[in-house]
Amino acid sequence: MTDNAAAYAAIDLGASSGRVLTGRLDGDVVTLTERHRFPNRPVRLPSGLHWNLLALLTESLESLRAAGPLRGIGVDTWGVDYALLDDRGRVLGLPFHYRDGRGAAMVAPCFARVPRDEQYAVAGIQTLPINTVFQLLADEGTAALGAASRLALVPDLLALWLSGELANERTNASTTGLLDARTGDWAADLVTRLGLPGRLFADLVDPGTLLGPALGAHGLGPVPVYAVASHDTASAFVAAPIRDEHAAILSSGTWSLLGVELAAPVLDDAARDANLTNERGIDGTTRLLKNVMGLWLEQECARAWGLDHAEIFAAAAAAPAGGPLFDPDAEAFLHPCDMPARIGEACVAAGQDAPTGVGPVARSILESLACKYRLVLERLERVSGRDIRCIHVIGGGARVELLCRLTADVTGREVLAGPVEATAMGNVLVQARAAGELGSLADIRHVVAASAQPTTFEPGGSRDAADELYRRFLDVTGLAAPATA
């Protein structure tokens, strides 16, 4: 294999940054090369907060043209957000950013039309104000929704712009709250009962579907464009080197998505009451998981302080343990804000002193995240019946040594950190399988295990101290432990 050999390109767009990587499969090993990394900067307009997708497309195309010969292109992004298209595939307005906040007012009206328990029994999605279904209801009465012929989630739209072919890929469609978790088809009856236009929902495809060659105008040649596992978490789960059913996966970045891979969804009352989500994975698998706020908290602090992430995590490591704690998932933290001040307010409201200074605030974030992970793991075990013995931390958070160590200590479970670029790796390997280079999901996981060596963090310190930290977290947040939920 040479550096000039044709490679698969992964356009991997996260909530805070985008990147283009290429990957080549050589026997049992895949090698990734980062071609370009760029910020993902939303824009605030009079209508609200929007994604600047044209800038992301431009950055991606420039790096694809410079990447050399390509065997395929796949796009993965975050979930829930979408564009409305007219009958000629033209975009009817810039897609909104999920942190715009417009969906929050539609949660109660949505459940008034179809009760939450009935929606969960079909779609199995946790209630978050950012969900697609709430955003679509916020579009009611607008000219855009009235004129729309199709809905394109963000990776669907970018794939359309690359190939000229529109299809809704199932893993991302499962984040909408409008996909039947059992069948993997649109939940037509639910769509009708909610009063949404049925014409928007059509043409679902699985990961690995060939959409067509890249459009000639892009100057890339007739490179195949594939629908991969286009929800970035689904691609990341593909590249989690799990060994058995006792593993949980923590996709750690702007969001922390913590869950287990199952053969079928769990749609019972216990899963609904735990507010777990059933998202579709590769080969019809289900990712039973919980969305936790994640490193967004630190990213907003970094913006407020004007510091880089390495400085912040170093300060956290030097700060005293056992500071104030808070629920990372409180709605007050969802939107852009002065995050250090907001965290301080939450701590004071819970009867604690506010953390002061970079190190104590950052340590408070990481200790609170580790405690929330333990709560989620206990709920996952209760709902799924799984005995979770290790946690695979994948994504950018795998680089944050203190968070990995705290997660091992607080949860009492082994943590295996890596691969960092799991999402791009999963994207590339799904393309390679579509091109005939790989077979089963087990084959893919074999390549992952041969290509990346995780860093191991064993639980350390006093179990009594870890249990006391967790008990204090439950006390100050008012969150019930699973045994008493």
| Cβ atoms < 10 Å from Cβ of 439 | 10
The span from the CA of 234 to the CA of 49, in Å, is 26
Token output for 442: 């087990």
Q: Is 314 left (phi over 0), alpha (psi -120 to 50) or beta?
A: alpha
The DSSP bridge partners found for residue 455 are 417
452 in Cβ contact with 418 (< 8 Å) = yes
Q: How many helices (H) and strands (E) does the chain have?
A: 18, 19
**Alpha-carbon distances of 230 from 119, 163, 233, 290, 316, rounded to whole Å:** 24, 15, 8, 19, 34
Total residues found in the chain within this entry? 485
Q: Are strands 224-227 and 209-213 parallel, antiparallel or unpaired?
A: antiparallel
Catalytic residues: 232
How many angstroms separate the first and last alpha carbons of the chain?
55
Q: Which amino acid, residue 310?
A: A
> What are the residues whose beta carbons fall under 8 Å from the beta carbon of 57, sequence distance 6 or more?
158, 161
User: What is the widest separation between alpha-carbon atoms in the chain?
Assistant: 63
> What are the residues whose beta carbons fall under 8 Å from the beta carbon of 75, sequence distance 6 or more?
11, 13, 155, 158, 159, 162, 228, 230, 427
- Of 294, 173, 281, nearest to 236 by C-alpha is 281
The span from the CA of 196 to the CA of 337, in Å, is 33
The DSSP bridge partners found for residue 25 are 30
Token output for 373: 């992970």
- Of 296, 285, 286, nearest to 329 by C-alpha is 296
204 in Cβ contact with 173 (< 8 Å) = yes
Angle at 421 between CA 420 and CA 423, to 5 degrees: 125
- Of 149, 146, 151, 58, nearest to 96 by C-alpha is 151
135 in Cβ contact with 80 (< 8 Å) = yes
Sheet holding 224-227, edge to edge: 29-39, 17-26, 7-13, 70-76, 224-227, 209-213
Residue with tokens 């409180």: 330
